[in-house]
Amino acid sequence: MSTITSPASITDENDRARALLDLAISLIDSALDVLGNHVHTDTHLQHQSLLMLGGTIGKHFRHVIETFHAFLLPLHHSLGLGHRLLEMNYDATLPTSRRPLARSVQACRQAMLTIRDDLVRWGERHRALESVTSSPGVPGDVDREGLAGEMRRMVDMVALTPTKQEMQSSVGRELWFCSLHAIHHFSMLRTIAVHELGLELPVEFGTAPSTLLYRGKGWKPPVEKKEVRVLTSKL
């Protein structure tokens, strides 16, 4: 038995889909702000962390870029191919051309801008379908149209653990993963920027949306101690 979805519930679902995409875009915007107004030099980007061995601000930004790229790539390649099952793989081997992303503020910022533009275009393409499928007399499966339908689209997730694993997910679930993954890396690079380099970053940068809601309007940020003494073991 098929389920008939009311116009009101379709609108509500499309609103939630837009909010999910808007969150992802706002996270990329926050990274662009940091790269444009706070992390000014390639030296900042390449600084080898003592608090997080092997980590740099640039590597964390690069990882966010590559994860969103892996999310967007199969969506771009699926244009004109209907709703066949997509494959997403965050572990795919990437070329050596990725290296400048972690070493050059200009290259990192440009790559982040490309991710933003691709997210916006992807959203606009599917939002345009919402007005078509909601028009009277237009045939088609509304569950497969518009941004909400695209968020429900099933994908085949491939992971190397190191054995190859395959599992079912959805486009919306993976976009949410990319967003939470970005917040996680923003939080870590914040530690390097603030506590090792003494840079000023927006207080909400690297903070989960649920935490921001929990804090409320009256919340006041603690004073971040800029200088951290790193002790090395004598053993």
- Let me know if residue 23 belongs to a domain: yes
**pLDDT at position 136 over 70:** no
Domain count along the chain: 1
- Domain of 112 in residue numbering reads as 12-134+141-215
The percentage of residues in the chain with a pLDDT greater than 90, rounded to a whole number, is 58
- Buried b / exposed e over 115-127, threshold 16 CB at 10 Å, is bbebbeebbeebb
β-pair partners for 168: 156
**pLDDT at position 186 over 70:** yes
For residue 25, give the CATH number of its domain.
1.20.120.450
- Let me know if residue 71 belongs to a domain: yes
**pLDDT at position 141 over 60:** no
- Let me know if residue 220 belongs to a domain: no
**pLDDT at position 81 over 70:** no
- Let me know if residue 105 belongs to a domain: yes
pLDDT of residue 139: 44
pLDDT of residue 192: 96
**pLDDT at position 189 over 70:** yes
- Give the separation between CA 165 and CA 157, rounded to whole angstroms: 8
Mean pLDDT within 87-113: 88
Both tokens of residue 111?
A: 């790559």
- Let me know if residue 2 belongs to a domain: no
**pLDDT at position 9 over 60:** no
Kindly report the pTM of this predicted structure: 0.83
- Let me know if residue 182 belongs to a domain: yes
Q: Measuring CA to CA, which residue among 153, 23, 4, 161 is closest to residue 85?
A: 153
β-pair partners for 86: 155
Q: What is the DSSP letter of 98?
A: G
- Let me know if residue 222 belongs to a domain: no
- Give the separation between CA 190 and CA 177, rounded to whole angstroms: 20
- Let me know if residue 20 belongs to a domain: yes
- Give the separation between CA 87 and CA 169, rounded to whole angstroms: 10
How far CA 149 is from CA of 11, 65, 154, in Å, comes to 11, 25, 10
Can you spell out the DSSP letters for 115-146? HHHHHHHHHHHHHHHHHHHTSTT--S-GGGSH
